[in-house]
Each structure stands twice: as structure tokens, then as C-alpha cells.
Structure 1
Amino acid sequence: MRGAADRRAAAASAAALLALSLALPACGGAAPQRAGEGARGAESEAGARMVPRIEPADLLPADLDLVVRVDVARMRGGLGQAAADELARRALDDLPDEALKGALRRADVAWLGLRLADLEEGDRVVVLEGRMAGLTPDPGRWEEARARLGGVSIFDRRGAAALPRADVARIIALGDRAVALVSAVEVSSVARVLRDGPDERRGDPAAEGIVSVDLRGRRLPPHLARRFPSLGALVAGVERVRAVASLHDEGVRIDAEIVGVEAAAAERARRFLEVLRDNVEDVRYADLMKALSIEQVERTVRLRWLFPAPVVLALLSGRAPG
């Protein structure tokens, strides 16, 4: 029994490191804090419009084609509070903003929305849901903007026009239960979502496992499509990719579905993945690749892949699996 528990703890540690590595780049080097109930919120403004309850993930606009959901509470339960705090400390040491560190540590669920084509530029929205009461923004760096919705507080970064594109330019607080950190390019899109309601086509990862992903297919940028026509055709045939990573005694299991625009496109994706799986020359990865199960049903290609805990830990630490 102890061996299984040790394997589970190792897998949980690996998954936690993976999730933190996904979330942290979205915060930017000078990322801000979250607004609390003590600040002068939208509910106190005359004429604030009361609307049905806004769910945290509703703040993600549809132009962000990749959405990652991290179940931080489930990780915390698998690791224990002390171990989870230590992982957070290691991951957050380089962030200068103490209030942001506090928000990440208090989060039970985190969503990270990205535009895949502009990944380097940093267009993104991070939404943290949890116990956020008492975290207030630094008035020297943030000023409150008018919010037209009751229960919503909005804070804009002072001097936002001079910020790097990836830095957080706006904070949106949903009472004391959630906070959204919005990069400059996404400010207008998130404002529209607050005004008009959630986008129907927004990314919606499954509320399962420790990490889940929802990716809507888009064509490669023209310069890449011209340079890699075969890859461009393959990507253009993918309509959606959804995946869930879950903890097991043996390690981390990934279940994924790739939906093609038609059955022929799904077949091209399946064949491409099978070629990758079956032609790995490095013996260190051969057994790992053999564990990848691939099957196609009409327009859908289903994948199942078990990463043993020692392999995941080695990959995350920068070591090649032994």
C-alpha cells in the first residue's frame, strides 16, 4: 500500500509542477494584485446594473482559442498543504507582487486562456477562483475604473499604455470569489463579455482531472503554412482538441480527443500520430511511446497515454527519462 501511495504522491508532485509552469507565464514579469471587498466596488456605484451570477470562466472571450483548466484544490488534496505551499513558493519566488502570490495560493481552480497564434506576444486572460477576500490592489499601481455590474470591481494599471504587451493591464474581481488578470490586448474583449454576456464559442475544458485543455483548431499563419504545407493541411483539418490529465497510482494519464472537420482529416491526424509513435529511435523514449493508444471513430481520434510518475518528474526537472 505504501508503494502505491508513494507513486501517487510522485505523480501529484509532477502534475502540480506542470500546472504551475502553465499558469505562471500568463502573469507577466510585473503582474498585479486582486481587488477585495474592502475596495470601492461596482455595487456601490449609483445605477450599477445587477445581472445573473457571473461564473469565473465566463470571463474568457472566444478569441482565446486555447483554454487550460487547473484543479488546484485537487492537487492540494493529493499533495497535502505543506507540499503544495512549497511548490507554490518555488514557482512564485520571481514574482515581485505579494498580493498576486497570495491570490495564486488561495485559488481552488485556475483557468488560463491564450491565443495560440500570438503565444509569444502574451495575449491572455488568467482567472483564479477561490477564497480571495482581503486581497486588495496597491493604489500606487492601480486605479479603480467604473463598473456597470453589481458585485464586480474593475482596476486598471496606472501607465498601462507603456506596459509590455504580456503584462496584466486590468484586474476584474467577482466579489471575493474570483479574480481575472487581463493582458492589455484582451481588455476590450473581456469588457465586451461583461457587457453582453459569455461568448457561446469560448473554450470550455472539462471539469475533470487535475489539468484539462480545450483547443479550437485554427489554420497556421500564412508564412508557416507556405513553409510547411503538409503540416498546414494537417492543422487545417483539426476542428477541436480536448484533453484531461488525471492522477492514478501509476502516474498521470492523459485522455484526449481530436475532432477533425471530416473523417478524412481525422484519418490524416491519426496516421501522423502513429508515425510519431512508431518511429522513435531513442531507446529512452521507446517504451513511453508504446504506451500511447490511438484509435479513430469517424471524425474523432481518441488517445490514451500513461506517463509513469518517475518519467513525468524527470521531464519536469529537465532530465531525460532514464
Structure 2
Amino acid sequence: MRAAADVRASVVAAAALAGLALIALALPGCGDAAPGLAGERGAKLPAGPRIVRRIEPADLIPADLDLVVRVDVARMRAGLGQAAAEALARRALDEAPDALLESALRRADVVWLGLRLADLEEGDRVVVVEGPMAGLTPDPDRWEPAPSAQGGVSVFDRRGGATPRGDTARIVALEGRAVALVSAVEASSVARVLRDGPDARRGDPAAEGIVSLDLRARRLPPALERRFPSIGALVAGVERVRAVASLDDDGVRLDAEIVGVDAAGAGRARRFLEVLRDNVADARHVDLMKALSIEQVERAVRLRWLLPAPLVLSLLSRGSPG
């Protein structure tokens, strides 16, 4: 039984790693008083929030974050139990232990992670944890309430002034439904989304599988394009990448779609992937790479890949080469 549990845990971990490697809503209400009847003067605005609009957790991810990963913790928990689901979600998020995040993950159903790839090392990101969050409050010694014009939304800022760029600078709580941890640079973008509504071009991973992602590709910086023209042309030809990693009876199934800016751009991506697949040097991985299906339909390149459970265990076992 323990061996079977280890296999299943490794399979789920591989789903998270595979997804990462490939790597509106209710009409806004008005808080003003209704127009007065003839003869009424000096009507007062009601106290309280000026905006009443239901905000979905994923709406808090602004469009300037080009990679959004969705981790379905509830599905992990159903198959592996609470502790394993939390550990794998934490691994997928690559987050250091944090008291609020730890508490939120214990209640999580779904976690979203939004990143800006060009500033990955600086830590610009938004983490949104959805689940029954009622009663979960930030430490008042470290966080202080901030003004919020949106009904059902509480905002907390870190005490003590300036916050390092990669640290959480703001917490947004959605009426007991979700908690968002926002880095310093993204605080203003999330404030804009709360005020104006969700960004139309934000990342939107599919609500499927254990892990899914949505990447809106951006060109390399000019200096890198000049230094690596072939890679620059490859990246410039890609518009979007979407992928889903799911548990399968035989292992981990990965379904991905790469959308090119045109058919030529998609063709460059397809040929690059085919070269990687067909020229693997390690004999142990030849069968694995043969299982990778790549096909192009106009601007779209579709990938299907099944990672067998025994191979997943081999790749993830401690001390394995590569």
C-alpha cells in the first residue's frame, strides 16, 4: 500500500513539474444614491463602499503577469490527503514557508500563481488562494488595514514602510472566499483591477487537471535577440502557450497547445520540438520521447505526452542522474 501511495504521490508531483516546465462577471453596481425625485435636494450618499461587484479570485491576476499557473489542490487532496496536497502545492508555487500562506494552503481548493517571466528573479508575482478563508486574518503586528472602496474586499498593507521587491507587500481578502498575496511591484496593478475590473488579456489557465498554465509569450530583450538570433526568432514567433497536466491510469498526461503569431512562427516551434524529440542522446529516454506527439494545424502546434508511472518514479527518485 505504501508503494502504491508513493507512486501516486510521485505521479502528482510530476504533473505539477510538467505543467510548470512548459511552462466580466457581475455588472458593476453603483454605490451612489438613486436619483432624487423632483423637489428633493441635498440627497446624501450612503456610507460604505462605493463599488459593489463580485470579484472572482482569478480576476486579481493583472495582465502584466505573462505566466499564470493554476494548481488544483482539491483534486490533489482527494487522491493523496491533506499533507501531501499542501506539500505538492507549495512545491509548485516554489514559496518559502510563510505563516499566512501555510494557513491558506490548508484551506485551499485552488491556487493561482501569476509571474512576469522577464523579472522572475526579482519576484514580481501575485498568489491567489481560493477556499473557505473565513476567519483567516493577517497578523496585526505585521499588517495594518488599508482603505478599500470595493464591497466585500479587505486590504492589508505590511507595516514598517518600504518592502523588498520580491516580498509580499499587500494582502487582499475576498469576503472569506479567497486570499491574495501581492508583491510590492504588483500592488498598484491589483489595486487598479479592484477599481476597474479584471484585465481582458489576463492569463486564464483551463480549470482542468492537476496543474494548468497559460503563457502569453513576449519577445526577448533586444540585446538577447542580437546575441541569440535563432532563439529570438523562435520566441518572437510564439503568441501563446496553454497546457494541462492530468493524472492518468498509466501515469501523467500532458496536453499543450502552442499558438504562433502566424503559420510560419508555429512551424518554427514545431520543428524545434521535433529536433528535441528525435535527437535525445540518453538511451534511457528514447522511448519516453517517442511518446511525445507533435502536430501542427495552421497556427497551432498541439502536443500530447504520457509519462509512464515507472519512469516518473525513476526520474523523481532521490539520487537519480539528471
For the residue of structure 1 that corresponds to 2:149, the secondary structure is coil
The change in CA–CA distance for 1:198 and 1:279 in structure 2 (over 3 A counts) is: same
The change in CA–CA distance for 1:102 and 1:18 in structure 2 (over 3 A counts) is: farther
Residue 320 of structure 1 and its aligned partner are, at CA, apart by 3.6
Task: Check whether the contact 2:20–2:69 (CA below 8 A) recurs between aligned residues.
Answer: no
Counterpart position of 2:142: 141
**Letter of the structure 2 residue corresponding to residue 181 of structure 1:** L
Counterpart position of 1:302: 302
Task: Check whether the contact 2:266–2:300 (CA below 8 A) recurs between aligned residues.
Answer: yes
Distance 1:4 1:242 in 2: 31
For the residue of structure 2 that corresponds to 1:138, the secondary structure is coil
For the residue of structure 1 that corresponds to 2:244, the secondary structure is strand
When the two structures are aligned, how many residues end up with a matched partner? 299
Counterpart position of 1:30: none
Counterpart position of 1:157: 158
**Letter of the structure 1 residue corresponding to residue 59 of structure 2:** D
Task: Check whether the contact 1:62–1:199 (CA below 8 A) recurs between aligned residues.
Answer: yes
Task: Check whether the contact 1:280–1:286 (CA below 8 A) recurs between aligned residues.
Answer: yes
TM-score by length of 1: 0.84
The change in CA–CA distance for 1:320 and 1:277 in structure 2 (over 3 A counts) is: farther
Residue 3 of structure 1 and its aligned partner are, at CA, apart by 9.9
Residue 80 of structure 1 and its aligned partner are, at CA, apart by 2.7
Runs of 5+ unmatched residues, structure 2: 23-45
Distance 1:14 1:180 in 2: 26
**Letter of the structure 1 residue corresponding to residue 67 of structure 2:** L
Deviation string, structure 1 residues 159-197 (Cα, Å, up to 9, x no partner): 241x32110000000011101100000001110000000
Residue 77 of structure 1 and its aligned partner are, at CA, apart by 0.8
For the residue of structure 1 that corresponds to 2:225, the secondary structure is helix
**Letter of the structure 1 residue corresponding to residue 99 of structure 2:** E
The change in CA–CA distance for 1:72 and 1:217 in structure 2 (over 3 A counts) is: same
**1:67-146 to 2 correspondence within 5 Å?**
67-81=68-82, 83-84=84-85, 95=96, 97-146=98-147
The change in CA–CA distance for 1:89 and 1:151 in structure 2 (over 3 A counts) is: closer
Counterpart position of 1:59: 60
Runs of 5+ unmatched residues, structure 1: 23-44
For the residue of structure 1 that corresponds to 2:230, the secondary structure is helix
Distance 1:254 1:136 in 2: 37
**1:1-322 to 2 correspondence within 5 Å?**
8=8, 10-15=10-15, 46-81=47-82, 83-84=84-85, 95=96, 97-161=98-162, 163-317=163-317, 319-320=319-320
For the residue of structure 2 that corresponds to 1:185, the secondary structure is coil
**Structure with greater Cα Rg:** 2
Report which of the two has the higher share of helix.
1
Task: Check whether the contact 2:69–2:212 (CA below 8 A) recurs between aligned residues.
Answer: yes
**Letter of the structure 2 residue corresponding to residue 127 of structure 1:** V
Greater shift in the superposed pair: 149-158 or 218-227: 218-227
Deviation string, structure 1 residues 184-230 (Cα, Å, up to 9, x no partner): 00001110000000000000000011100100111011221111100
Distance 1:173 1:158 in 2: 17
The change in CA–CA distance for 1:241 and 1:183 in structure 2 (over 3 A counts) is: same
The change in CA–CA distance for 1:260 and 1:11 in structure 2 (over 3 A counts) is: same
For the residue of structure 2 that corresponds to 1:302, the secondary structure is strand
Counterpart position of 1:33: none
Over the matched positions of the two proteins, sequence identity in percent amounts to: 78
Distance 2:166 2:305 in 1: 33
Distance 2:84 2:182 in 1: 29
Residue 86 of structure 1 and its aligned partner are, at CA, apart by 6.3
Distance 1:193 1:205 in 2: 18
Task: Check whether the contact 1:131–1:176 (CA below 8 A) recurs between aligned residues.
Answer: yes
Distance 2:135 2:3 in 1: 41
**Letter of the structure 2 residue corresponding to residue 51 of structure 1:** V
Distance 1:262 1:61 in 2: 26
**Letter of the structure 1 residue corresponding to residue 175 of structure 2:** G
Deviation string, structure 1 residues 258-317 (Cα, Å, up to 9, x no partner): 000111111111001000111111112222111110000011000001112233344445
